[in-house]
Amino acid sequence: MTPTVTQTGTLSTRERILLEASRLFARNGYRGTSTREIAAAVGIRQPSLFHHFPSKQTIMAELIDIDHAEATRVAKREAAASGSPAVRLYRYLVADISFICRCAYDLSSVESVLNDSDFGDKRQRHNELQGARLAIIEEGIDSGEFVKSDPLIAHKVITWILRGDIVDTAGEPQADADDFAHQLASFVLRAVLADPDRVDEIRAGVELEMNQG
Amino acid sequence: MTPTVTQTGTLSTRERILLEASRLFARNGYRGTSTREIAAAVGIRQPSLFHHFPSKQTIMAELIDIDHAEATRVAKREAAASGSPAVRLYRYLVADISFICRCAYDLSSVESVLNDSDFGDKRQRHNELQGARLAIIEEGIDSGEFVKSDPLIAHKVITWILRGDIVDTAGEPQADADDFAHQLASFVLRAVLADPDRVDEIRAGVELEMNQG
DNA sequence: GTCTATAATAGGATAGAC
DNA sequence: GTCTATCCTATTATAGAC
């Protein structure tokens, strides 16, 4: 399984390569990170990397797959879930944000390399995930639960918040990842709901569900 | 002056280097962009770049200065401006977002290189700008105009929205940059205001000011 | 599973002709 | 102001010893 931030003490060399590579890719970009830097961070020599991965590209490809596997899991669950668009959007945000905060790997670089031709085949799944998010927003606007406005604005802002969260809080242990996730989700819901006062009720309902399940 | 998206037809070689470098830095990162790629995009040979800039680093440094010069101008103006925190935050957001949309250069890479030791001296001004923004938010919460919550959450979200806007819409001509800026600013204000219904009144007031000034 | 040595290529920057 | 030619270093990846 994908390691969490609390498990970084007991990683295999392969996992430590993924961890250090993810941090360096986040800081200096995929192209801007050399295999020597990754190896140095892991504590091995540069050619030893190639015993665990056939190329630098496959290290990045595995990080992309880790990110997409979890995002797909959450998106599929909320697509089939019960509840109004607001409740499902709230649950989706909390699940995604707390995964980002808990995952040991810093997945910031994933989205930015999807424009690179080397990873073009990974892009379709990313687009599908974006579409699933937009669909919830459109449903909320159509039903009158969300304020009447361009769904693309809310969709963009949510994308940017998730991206910002990945970049700024990924990979570092967060004091209280759950509370942070709820605060961010509440911020978005306040902006989006036709009746912003419903935020507290939605938050309480989702927290109850999570404590039971 | 810094060129806008509508002026990309009449640029000097020096400005075209800044333009193409900004786009490549945005896509592939500062480290991940070679001087050969920049030269090819401009339509000259690699050594010719060094007639206009003494190094690759000085190209990036100039892009940072362009970004910070405008951000400082806007922040200083709103620090001294009249109006409630909500009105000043709204004006700040609209000014910053429409600058991002109008500037010919894609300034996405600026924030990410500030962690690089090569540009450490530019970082202080960035931190001062962040502080000015946080101060407006804290003032709004203390006065009761904003909803009672952790000011750092709103601050983070605003940072992420501005960053996302830079990354996704910078450098490309926007159909209606002003309307887009107002929609994003309204989204943030709805989430932040104790009385979200005041958004339309604040928007109308700022639009009136802008049409007069 | 990690090492040293090395191949082959791409990187930033300079010199000097035009 | 741009060019060709070139220097030196850094890059990804392989071969083969231990």
How many beta-carbon pairs under 8 angstroms link A with B?
A: 87
Q: Is B149 exposed, middle or buried (0-12, 13-18, 19+ CB in 10 A)?
A: middle
DSSP-derived letter for residue A129 is H
Kindly report the average pLDDT of chain B as a whole number: 95
Residue A9: its pLDDT value, please?
Answer: 85
Residue B79 has pLDDT above 90, yes or no: no
A116-139 pLDDT, tens digit each: 999 999 999 999 999 999 999 999
Residue spans of the domains in chain B: they are 60-212
Does B160 contact A165 at a Cβ distance shorter than 8 Å? yes
Topology (CATH) of B60-212: Tetracycline Repressor; domain 2 (1.10.357)
DSSP-derived letter for residue A173 is P
When mean pLDDT is compared across A55-64, A144-153, A173-182, B147-156, the lowest value belongs to A173-182
Minimum CA–C1' distance nucleotide for B36: C11
Query: In B, which residues are within 8 Å of A150 by CB distance?
Result: 183
- Report the C-alpha gap between B161 and A63 in whole angstroms: 25
A48: how many CB neighbours lie within 10 A of its CB? 14
* Strand D lies under 7 A from the Cβ of residue A58: no
Q: What is the H or E stretch that residue A206 is in?
A: helix A199-212
- B47's CB contacts (< 8 A; 6+ apart) are none
Range 155-194 of A in CB contact (< 8 A) with B: 156-157, 159-161, 163-165, 167-168, 183-184, 187-188, 190-191
B100-143 pLDDT, tens digit each: 999 999 999 999 999 999 999 999 999 999 999 999 999 999 99
DSSP-derived letter for residue A1 is -
CB B135 within 8 A of CB B144: no
- Report the C-alpha gap between A114 and A142 in whole angstroms: 31
B28-74 pLDDT, tens digit each: 999 999 999 999 999 999 999 999 999 999 999 999 999 999 999 99
Kindly report the average pLDDT of chain A as a whole number: 95
Tell me the two tokens of residue B147: 């909803």
Residue A176: its pLDDT value, please?
Answer: 86
Residue B144: its pLDDT value, please?
Answer: 98
Q: Classify A84 as helix, strand or coil.
A: coil
Query: Per-residue confidence at A174, pLDDT binned at 50, 70, 90?
Result: confident
Query: Per-residue confidence at A79, pLDDT binned at 50, 70, 90?
Result: confident
Residue B8 has pLDDT above 90, yes or no: no
Mean pLDDT of A98-115: 94
Residue A8 has pLDDT above 90, yes or no: no
Q: Which of A100, A104, A111, A109 is nearest to A169 (CA)?
A: A100
Residue A97: its pLDDT value, please?
Answer: 94
Residue B169: its pLDDT value, please?
Answer: 87
Query: What crossing angle do the helices spanning A56-80 and A35-42 adopt, rounded to 10°?
Result: 80
Q: Classify A33 as helix, strand or coil.
A: coil
Query: Per-residue confidence at A50, pLDDT binned at 50, 70, 90?
Result: very high
Give the residue on A whose Cα is nearest the Cα of B159.
A164
Q: Which of A2-16, A34-48, A116-130 has the highest mean pLDDT?
A: A34-48
Residue B143: its pLDDT value, please?
Answer: 98
Minimum CA–C1' distance nucleotide for A52: C1
pTM, 2 dp? 0.96
Residue B175: its pLDDT value, please?
Answer: 78
Residue B140: its pLDDT value, please?
Answer: 98
Q: Specify the amino acid at residue B95.
A: A
Residue B172: its pLDDT value, please?
Answer: 76
Query: Per-residue confidence at B171, pLDDT binned at 50, 70, 90?
Result: confident
Nearest protein residue to nucleotide D10 (CA to C1' distance) is A34
* DSSP structure string for chain B: -PPBGGGTTS--HHHHHHHHHHHHHHHH-STT--HHHHHHHHTS-GGGHHHH-SSHHHHHHHHHHHHHHHHHHHHHHHHH--S-HHHHHHHHHHHHHHHHHHBSS-THHHHHHTTSGGGGGGHHHHHHHHHHHHHHHHHHHHHTSB-SS-HHHHHHHHHHHHHHHHHHHTTSPPTTHHHHHHHHHHHHHHHHBSSGGGHHHHHHHHHHHHHH-
CATH class of segment(s) A64-212 = mainly alpha
CA of A187 to C1' of D9 (A): 50
What is the Rg, in whole angstroms, of the alpha carbon atoms belonging to chain A? 19
Mean pLDDT of B177-182: 94
Residue B58: its pLDDT value, please?
Answer: 98
Residue B200 has pLDDT above 90, yes or no: yes
Query: Per-residue confidence at B1, pLDDT binned at 50, 70, 90?
Result: confident
Strand D contact nucleotides, protein CB < 7 Å: 1-6, 10-16
Strand C contact nucleotides, protein CB < 7 Å: 1-6, 10-16
Query: Per-residue confidence at A27, pLDDT binned at 50, 70, 90?
Result: very high
Query: Per-residue confidence at A173, pLDDT binned at 50, 70, 90?
Result: confident
Residue B180 has pLDDT above 80, yes or no: yes
